[in-house]
Amino acid sequence: MKYIKLYEEFISEANLIPGGIANGMSLEDIAKKHGVDLTELEAEYEKGIKVEMEHTGDKNVAMEIARDHLYEDPKYYTKLAKIEG
């Protein structure tokens, strides 16, 4: 997945949004936290990046926000789509 590689490069840099709850965590870490399959979380992450790009022009910021939401709930963006549907 192209975003995983981009994320791994990004995680070593300074946070763009200080204080995020998924600070320093990989998607694999988040998947383990929730006991979900990494592939499913990656798909949810892709959804999240698209949603967050509606609010920012910076893909790295969108990725950081999406990870924070997935840390809270690994189905955050699926649930959001149902609510907004």
d(CA 85, CA 79): 10
Q: For residue range 2-38, what is the model confidence (pLDDT) as tens digits?
A: 555 555 555 544 455 655 777 778 899 999 999 999 9
Domain ranges (residues) in the chain: 2-11+24-84
Q: Which residues of 14-42 are buried (b: 16+ CB within 10 A; e: fewer)?
A: eeeeeebebeebebeebbeeeeeebeebe
Q: For residue range 49-84, what is the model confidence (pLDDT) as tens digits?
A: 999 999 988 888 899 899 999 999 999 999 999 998
Q: Which pTM does this prediction carry?
A: 0.78
42: Cα separation from own chain's centroid: 8
> What integer pLDDT is reported at residue 12 of this predicted model?
43
> What integer pLDDT is reported at residue 72 of this predicted model?
95
